[in-house]
Structure formats: structure tokens, C-alpha cells
Chains A and B, each alone.
Chain A
Amino acid sequence: MSFKNILENWSAFRKDAEAGGHHKYDHRWGMAINLDVCTGCNACSTACYAENNLAVVGKDRFEKGQAMHWMRIERYWDDADRQFPERGASFLPMMCQQCGAATCEPVCPVAATYHTPDGLNAQVYNRCIGSRYCSNNCPFRVRYFNFYSYYETWAEPLNQQLNPDISVRDKGVMEKCTFCVQRIRASNDKAKMENRAIADGEVQTACAQACPTGAIVFGDTMDPNSAVNKLWAKHEVKRGDYLSKKPKVNAEKRGYRIFEELNVDPSVMYLERVREEI
């Protein structure tokens, strides 16, 4: 970004996220996750490991907090009154929320993480110097740092299943969920070859594909006819709308985005679990 560019487009760059932001988007990939049907089975996490060449770190490193699961299932026990409280866990799949106003982006000293015209928080592994500022500034704790060169010790038959469409990351590089950008890229190439736009449902992330209950819906939130956009509209979740926290009145409008009050504009909408009246 040159100085001339800043002077000329100052007012455009100062446009807040509520007013649409200053990015020009081709797509804005987004998700809707229905927590009511999520069983916490971890299939999404497993699929992510297989799709994105994630390293299995082992128990010791996991305990040190060096796990590399881009997609993790968070467990909460907030139902203490039940007869067997330890069985009352509720689950929340947590991955990079691909924020529209991401806190990780401005702190990167080398611009290795930036916002793409597809509405994704890109992480360019070649450019990353491993300062880990982004990870420390992420409110969702979904960025993972390679403390070791896992590709050197990849277990023998498993190296045969590495995905060639995504790099195997080396030591000293930050990584995170990409919304399966290799699949988006492949579909984009295919659509361009056939002179058409990407159809809704054409791109599926590995987690959405693997989910046995269909809790995860992925698509372009800029496409008015996409399934994900219809869900967002149905549950009255809008981008840039972080102040109008409406009380949940009925089960039909239970959409929310995590840390919405921080105004980071996440691209993932969660649908609250429906519970019996106590």
C-alpha cells in the first residue's frame, strides 16, 4: 500500500465494518453451525486432520498446548443442576472464524496474514516469520504454531495420504483453518473454465462434508440464494451488526456469532442449542 494510495482512498479506507468496510469482495465465505444437532463426535476435527496435513503432536505436546487441531470441539458443562452433571456437556466446534475485521491481521509485522477478496483471513506460510503476534491477538485462540518440524517425523504410511494441494508446514510458521481454501480454489478454477459462477454447495469444507448430522453449512454469504445466507437471514444475523443484541425470543431466532461485541465481524454463525424449559 503506497502513501499515494492512502491519500487518495482515505475516506474509503476509513469506512467501518458496519458501513460495509473498505474491502471489495468477490465472495464472502461463511458458515452456519447448528449446535442443536452437533453431537460432539469429532468427525469434523478428524476430517480436518486428513484434509489439511495437520500434524499429530502426541500427548506430551498436547498438554503443553502445542496441539495443531485447526478444528477443535470445545466442551462446556453449564448445566450443573442435572442429576449427572458430568454427562451434561454441550459442544461447540471452534475453528478460525475468518473475521471481516480480524485482529490478527494488523499485528503481523510482515503482512503474512491478510484479507483476501474472498473474505478469508489468508495465512501465507512462506512469508510468516513466526513472531506469533497474530496468535496472541486472536480472541478465539485458533491459530497454531509449528514448534517442531513435523514433516521429518511423519509416521511412515501416513505420508502417503498427505494432501498435495496444501503445503506441509515447517517449523516456525503459524497456521490456522483456511475454510479449505484448496477446495475453494479448485472449484473456482473449474467454474472459470466453464465460464460460470461457483454454484451454491459446490464448495464444501472437509468438516462440513464429514459432519454426520449436517450441523455445518458452508457457502457464500454474498450469494442471496445460498443455503448459508438463508440461514443467516432466518436467524437475523447480519455482518457489521454488533450492537443490536436482541434477546432471544423464540427457537426460530437463535443465531449468534461468538464475541460479536468485539466487532471483529466473524464469518461463522452458531445456532444456539434448544433446551427444555427448566
Chain B
Amino acid sequence: MFYKHVCKLVLPPVLMFVSLLLISGAPARAELAVPPGVTPPVGTHAGEDVPQPIEFPHDIHVNINKINCMYCHTYARRSKVAGIPPTSKCMGCHKMIATDKPRIQKLTEYFTKKESPKWKKVHDVPDFVHFSHERHIKKFVFDADLPVENVEQVCGLCHGEIKAMTVAKKNKPLTMGFCRRCHEANGGPGDCWKCHK
């Protein structure tokens, strides 16, 4: 009788706990560090793969070569949009570096034909949203005295761990609730018309 109870009541939770341990232990991935004093927005999103004209490897640029996000996405600190670098900026390095790789040859082809690769937008907020990169970078980097080399932590709040990806993929929901919870936790404006236009 007692054994039966053990089987019915105690065993399932124990089994669940063990399986949870196994599941959570399985994908051992280094989480992106959070900037000090910031409550990160909560939420994940399983974004689709976006095929780009050139399969741009973020991991090689950021993780191996340690290039700052704002070296290429220059406009993040001074405009609403982070911006895609002009092909000439890519060629600044890739005139010399890795010229034998097919992706770079494709890039060089674009550059010599004076065309831009037609990059597809991955992190797209709706048209009725006013989102300013410069205001967020100012608050979380320049006003918070965060070293600029750690800017990827701030970008990662909304863009996730880009340095682990090749082509960028949307892995945060970027919904209104996602924005609102972060604004509440970090003292952002709560007025509808600050973001809705």
C-alpha cells in the first residue's frame, strides 16, 4: 500500500525534477553578460532563418576577430537606425583579408559593379513604432560609463547573442510587452506616445 503511494505521489515529481536537470544541463551555452545595473528584458523568440545575399558570418567578426558592433553599425550611436555598413567599409579590410574565400569574392563583385547587396531586414519593428538606437546607446553605454568594447552586452539585450550566429536571426520577441517590461524595470518612458506614432 505504502509503496503504491510512493509510486503515485513521490516518484512523478522526482522523475520530473531529474528530467528537468537533464534538459537544462544539456545545452551548455555561455550566456551573454548583462551590463551592470541593468535589468534585462525577458523573453525569447524562435526566429526564422533569413537568407541573405551573402552569408555574413557575425561569429568570425565578433567572436574571433573581436570587432566592435559599432565599428560596422556606426549609426547606432548617432541616429534612430543602427544601419548596414556601405560595401566600401567591408572592402576596407577585405581588399587584403581572405580574398580567396567565395563569400569575399562575391562581395568584391558587388563592389566592383557598384551595387549594394540587398540585405534583408531581420529585426523589424512595426511602422507605428518609434524606436531610437541612439537614445538607448546613450543611456546604457555613454551615460552608464560602460566601456565601449562591452557594447555587445547592450546590443544583446534586444538582439541576443549575435556573436554566436553567422547570419543574424531574431531571437528576442521585440513585442510591446518585451519593451514595456524593460522600460518599467530600467526607468524608461511609460507614455504611449513616446513610442507609438
Q: Are B128 and A125 in contact (CB-based, < 8 A)?
A: yes
A122 touches B192 (CB 8 A): yes
Query: B192 to A181, Cβ gap below 8 A?
Result: no
Task: Verify if A182 is at the interface (C-beta below 8 Å from B).
Answer: yes
A189 touches B196 (CB 8 A): no
B155 to chain A, nearest CB (A): 18
Within 8 Å of chain B (Cβ to Cβ): is A185? yes
Segment at the A interface, from B9-17, B97-105, B131-139, B177-185: B131-139
B127 at the A/B interface (Cβ < 8 Å)?
yes
> How many residues does chain A have at the interface if contact means C-beta atoms less than 8 Å apart?
21
Cβ of A117: which chain B residues have Cβ within 8 Å of it?
191
Chain B residues within an 8 Å CB radius of A189: 132, 134-135
Q: How many A-B residue pairs have CB under 8 A?
A: 43
**Given A167-B127, A167-B128, also A182-B192 (CB < 8 A):** no
Q: A185–B128 contact, CB under 8 A?
A: no
Hey, which chain B residues are within 8 Å of A181, CB to CB? 193, 197
Closest CB in chain A relative to B131 CB, distance in Å: 11
Q: Does B194 lie within 8 Å of A124, measured CB to CB?
A: no
CA distance A222 to B123 in the complex (A): 39
Q: List 24 A-B contacts (CB under 8 A).
A: A114-B192, A116-B191, A117-B191, A118-B193, A122-B191, A122-B192, A122-B193, A124-B192, A124-B193, A124-B196, A125-B128, A126-B128, A126-B196, A127-B192, A164-B127, A166-B197, A167-B127, A167-B197, A182-B197, A185-B193, A185-B194, A189-B134, A192-B138, A193-B134
**Given pairs A182-B130, A185-B197, 16 additional interface contacts (CB within 8 A):** A116-B191, A117-B191, A120-B193, A122-B191, A125-B196, A127-B192, A165-B197, A166-B197, A167-B128, A167-B197, A168-B127, A181-B197, A185-B193, A185-B194, A189-B132, A193-B135
